[in-house]
Structure 1
Amino acid sequence: MGHLEDLRSQLTGTLVLPGEPEYDAARAAWNLAVDQRPAAVATPADVADVQAIVRAARAAGLGVSTQPNGHGADADLEGVVLVRPSRFDEITVDVEASVLRVGAGVNWGRALARLDGTGRIALAGSNPEVNAVALALNGGQSMFSRRFGLTARSVIAVDLVDASGEARRIDDASDPDLIWALRGGGGLFGVVTAIEVALFPADALFGGSLAFPIESGVEVLRAGFALARDVPELGLDLGLARFPDLPLVPPPLRGRTVATVALVHVGDEATGRSYADRLTAVAAPVADTLTAFTIGSLAAVAAEPTAPMPNADFGAAIDALDDAFAAELVDAFLAGADHGLMRVSVRALGGAIADELGADLAAVGAVHAGGFLNSGVVLLDPSIDAPAALRPLRELAARHPGDRVVPTFLGRGTTLADAYPREVVERLAAVKRRVDPDGVIRANRPIGA
């Protein structure tokens, strides 16, 4: 503890230790089911603070892990100093160069608001409270990815403090192996303070979500899968959801089980609506939020939950999205819903996500699966049996395994070895041994076997 007490006196930012009044709030993960108890929680004010934190932790025999918001939290963090980079709040947009620079404390909602009116978009997540740096380092799969590629492959440069406490700027020229690892390998290679990502042209956007009666679920999913095959640049997320009968749920969905389709089209409204017409020709929607929008309103279009809650989740890559899989997905969801499963979605892949050009520059590579499955159980009721709720989807994914998944779609208890082929995992491990042989830098998701 002496090293940490000394560290506190060196910092411009803050350090909270166990037993102090602020500790429980400081250590909390976004997933309230994760009970993490780090050796300290640090909120550095600048790069010098980060350097001091890493050096002090190393001297004390502790690890260092970064969690902007704790969305991917997955361990107890015993013997680890937890870094909250909230004060790294830089957002710089270079429209001419098509580059966005964001600090490690910036969430996508704030970053996208700065892009309004620029004619540029970033490969953002659909949830405004997801951290921009964390999503990019862990792969990312934006609703724009079928048009422009996975988020990790848009990373141009990374500013970090390495395991020795040295501040470095990493790009393809300075350290090609390390930037390769950072593009999909997560936070294992240093405490990242800022990144630069490529921006892409988009003068018009159209999208939103449709919900259909569960009785039409198989037909809607089949129509959505066919649309994904026919329009490889269209962002599509297709799934099923069971909504509780509570006042907080909008009346059209309250107490209902529905099939859902979210779509994002880079282009004019008329073309976007023609794609949606292929879905509404199959069944009449019970809810429709489709609209033209600007990049700063992407979060409103997706309308995903943003509040912390206890949950259990499961994600996997699916080999192909076809008619047979649509029927199996509905059956698996309904079986799980009887035990508390609330949602499942499949993010369609293909398009630029499968592009091999430049894939060797990023650990995330090119993905040739049909889709990424993601599901969740909210653990508000102690009677909910999460393993039973998720088991039908695990069995479904085992019957239809895809070639790889990005870490952002993995659930708790997984490693990078659950995402990537063995040769990628071995190369990641080699980079880790070079830049952090003592394992000072920890991440929510280790490399694994």
Structure 2
Amino acid sequence: MTSASELLALRAELTGTLLLPGDTDYEAARRPWNLSVDQHPAAIAEPADVADLQAILRFAAAAGLGVTVQPNGHGANGDLRGVVLVRPARFDSLAVDTQARVLRAGAGVNWGRALDELDGTGLVALAGSNAEVNVVALAIAGGHSMFSRRYGITARSIISVELVDAAGVVHRVSDADDAELIWALRGGGGLFGIVTEIELALYPGDAIFGGGLTFPAESAEAVITAALELARDEPELGVDIGMMRFPDVEHLPPHLRGRTVATVNLVHLGDEATGRAFADRITSVAEPIADALTNFTIGGLAAVAAEPVDPMPSAEFGAAITGLDAAFAREFVDAFLSGADRGLMRCGIRLLGGAIADELGADRAVVGAMQADGLVSAGVLLFDPTIDVDAAFAPLRELVAKHPGGRPLPSFLGSGATLAGAYDPDVLERLAAVKQRVDPGGVIRSNRPLGWLDQTVG
């Protein structure tokens, strides 16, 4: 067991900070975004530079500790006992090369800042739906974007990464440098080193139209059916569908307070007239109670989903699904309403297809061509301790079992899941071989372990 004096010696060696249990700020710093995950790392480091990372890795290897990275804690997945938790906030470099169409972001950069930097360039990155999610973390965990049906899954846009391996050696990893390692990093998560910077491909997107449409629950089947048909006909259009049940609390807008609603979010890379014609196919079947469709720039992408950014306790369920047609719309609505009566708050389905299913270049990433029709993401807030989470998710699990779509992206897995939930055994075996080569001692731990192997290599 590592002694407090040994950890204090490490702290004295670092230019950055190291919090230990009992320190004033430790309790706040250890909390992840999902407050239901109770993690107690041996120490929490905010390294100032690569030299600090190298010192942390040397210390951990000698002391028999693991090292894991959580920029914001969105991927928290365990108690972290015997692990040094690294927060890479000071790796905050950010640059856009418009000529080369490349975004370079340090490991501490969130998508909100990166998208602001892209404003006015006429280029888009394959960002997620939440501005507070970290750029590196989303990309190496798979990542789905509202631009993915046009340009592909985020992980497949990775050009290169800079990382510090378990031995403290700094590498630039690309297809030319180490094709197998970059393959693993494109969706394998934080198993293989501490990423300090990433390069992502950028894509044309000088005009963007879209936003969210909200409908009363009684219109849900009709609008979801219309949205599924629109997505089938327009494979490059970003579409997600969902339902939400809101509590009757004063801080909510009157049109949402205490209501169950259906939502359709659209993102069109192109002109307003075409985008509105797409939206008319949805609004022609029912009158929305809220319409946020507008022209916007890349910096406003997060407003489409308008996801919460404050930490909260929750349970998550994710899955891949197929067979999305008019009959499915009815089943989905029934499943949500049944789950909502037991505590389910939200369920969304990101529609796939288009470039996501394209086999071209799929062999260069562990996230290959996905043939499912959609990715399910559902959540239960855990403020009420009497909620039976299994019961709340049960109707959705039954729906997925009836319409199985294979394995989802790692970034859509719930807390407690491993990469075995996202990849087939042969892929896990290949990932394990990469892990054994670059970190045979299992010093670097991922928030998503491999699952079927000893946890020390995950």
Q: Does 1:106 align with 2:109?
A: yes
1:191 aligns with 2:194: yes
Could you tell me how far apart the structure 1 residues matched to 2:321 and 2:304 are? 25
How far apart are residue 422 of structure 1 and its match?
2.1
Aligned residue for 1:292, secondary structure, equals: strand
2:169 corresponds in structure 1 to 166
Task: Return the TM-score normalized by structure 1.
Answer: 0.99
> Which residue does 1:448 correspond to in 2?
451
How far apart are residue 372 of structure 1 and its match?
0.1
> Following the alignment from structure 2 to structure 1, what is the Cα–Cα distance between the partners of residues 10 and 401?
48
CA–CA distance in structure 2, aligned partners of residues 94 and 4 of structure 1: 41
Equivalent residue letter for 2:207: A
Contact 1:320 1:371 in 2 (8 A): no
CA distance in 2, matches of 1:40, 1:405: 32
1:227 matches 2:230: yes
Output the CA distance in 2 between the equivalents of 1:53 and 1:147.
41
Whole-angstrom CA distance in 1 between matches of 2:26 and 2:155: 33
Query: Could you say what secondary structure the match of 2:378 adopts?
Result: strand
Alignment counterpart, residue 310 of structure 2, candidates 307, 311, 318 = 307
Match of 2:362 in 1: 359
Does residue 394 (structure 1) correspond to residue 391 (structure 2)? The answer is: no
Deviation of 1:405 (Å): 1.2
1:17 aligned residue (16, 20, 24): 20
Q: How many residues align?
A: 449
Give the residue type in structure 2 aligned to 1:346. I
> What CA distance in whole angstroms lies between the structure 2 residues aligned with 1:423 and 1:256?
45
Correspondence for 1:118? 121
How far did residue 327 of structure 1 move? Answer: 1.1
Q: Distance in 2 between matches of 1:220 and 1:39?
A: 50
Structure 2 residues not aligned, in runs of 5+: 453-458
What residue in structure 2 maps to residue 335 of structure 1? 338
Deviation at 1:403, TM superposition (A): 2.6
In the TM superposition, 1:23-422 aligns within 5 A as 23-422=26-425
* Percent identical: 68
Q: After TM superposition, give the deviation of residue 6 of structure 1 in Å.
A: 1.7
* Alpha-carbon distance in structure 2 between the residues aligned to 1:248 and 1:131: 28
Q: Give TM-score scaled by structure 2 length.
A: 0.97
Q: CA deviation at 1:369?
A: 0.2
Structure-2 separation of matches of 1:201 and 1:29: 35
Q: Which SS does the other structure have where 2:301 is aligned? A: helix
Do the aligned partners of 1:253 and 1:286 also contact (CA within 8 Å) in 2? no
RMSD: 0.9
Contact 1:34/1:76 (<8 A) preserved:
yes
Specify every segment of 5 or more residues in structure 1 that has no aligned partner in the other structure, as ranges: none
| 8 Å CA contact retained: 1:336, 1:391 | yes
Equivalent residue, structure 1, for 2:442: 439
Q: Which amino acid aligns with 1:218?
A: E
Supply the distance in 2 between the matched residues of 1:150 and 1:204 (Cα, whole angstroms). 20
SS in 1 for 2:230: helix
Q: Match for 1:284: what amino acid?
A: E
For 2:85, give the aligned amino acid.
Answer: L
Q: Shift of residue 84 of structure 1?
A: 0.2
* Partner SS, residue 441 of structure 1: coil
